[in-house]
Chains A and B, each alone.
Chain A
Amino acid sequence: MRPGLAGRLSRALVGWHPRRWRERYHEEMLEVLDQHHPTARTVASLAGSVLSTHVDPAYRAEWLSLARLRRAALISALVAAPLALVLGPIGYGMWQDSYWHPAADEPLETAAFSPHTGIMVTAFGEAIDGTDMVWDVTDLSRPRRLSQFEGGQPVALSPDGRTVATVAYSGQTALWNVADPKDSAPRPGQAWRSPPKTARLADRTQSSNVT
């Protein structure tokens, strides 16, 4: 530690003692520091002194009394307990929701799968324009939901797992970006969902290698 830094830190630390301590020792401690050559050890010893005097009943500030600390702990517990009761189940539910529970979900309508990446896109239930879900099925015993979006029936997923083609009830086809599914849902606005023109879609299909 540079002497200048140790000296400045030491002098600052003297000022961090409790008020009652400073009233008594501040001046003479600074006087000692003026003559002493402060090192890292000086800083460490003063830091220890600051800590021990702050818990010392003889110098401790009034607000740091044991009764106050106890009251603060009690109030925190009273506030935290109901919060935990409410937020705990909600959080658990959200965590559970991100996993696939085949028994609880509606029947699977269609699915597209990219074996190499372990990405699968599914559509459940009757509603053809309903919710598509993007799954990470790398761990087959515990498929994890990465995101969801409102598309149509997923018909094909590119081998790299980045693009999914959907067909909506109206017959419109669309390409969706699932490259970064953790970053919310595929975003139609980001030039990934192609206009519903067959020619354009064919181009896009070739270039992005949808199988």
Chain B
Amino acid sequence: MHGKFDDLGRFADPSLLILTSLADGPKHGYAIMTDVAAFSGVTMEPGTLYGALSRLERRGWVRPLAAEERRRPYEITAAGQEILTGQVKTMQQIVQVARLRTAMAWGA
């Protein structure tokens, strides 16, 4: 969970992490937290998680499903899928340029 990914916390956008987590199916709050920690190493705290979830919900990018006891799963919407796809494309471009430039500059 910690270690080499720790610094990502500063760059990681909680909304992007949540959308990525919901891309393979609905999840409730704690499942999102553990999933995000597993694939990115970012420990998302509940305050951050629910702040981002409520913003995503208001923009119509995620949708709450019926609560199962005290847990409420969230699902990515069509608009959310579109946004995530666009974001990933942008990030791929950034990654490509970054790879090229770091390789040329200091051979990383």
Chain A positions near chain B (C-beta within 8 angstroms): 10, 13, 21, 24-25, 27-33, 35-36, 41-42, 44-50, 52-53, 58
Contacts and interface: CB of A to CB of B under 8 A. Distances in A.
Contact of B70 (A10, A30, A52): A30
Given A27-B70, A28-B71, A58-B58, A46 B29 contact: no
Given A28-B71, A28-B72, A46 B46 contact: yes
A47 B46 CA distance: 11
B20 to A, nearest CB: 19
B47 A46 contact: yes
| Chain A interface, DSSP helix/strand/loop, else mixed | helix
Given A25-B54, A58-B58, A31 B29 contact: yes
Given A32-B30, A42-B47, A46-B46, 17 more contacts: A24-B54, A28-B29, A28-B70, A28-B71, A29-B29, A29-B50, A36-B33, A41-B43, A44-B45, A44-B47, A45-B47, A45-B48, A47-B47, A48-B48, A50-B47, A52-B51, A53-B51
A36 B30 contact: yes
Contacts, number: 61
| Chain B interface, DSSP helix/strand/loop, else mixed | helix
B47 A35 contact: no
A103 B50 CA distance: 71
Contact of B45 (A30, A46, A50): A46
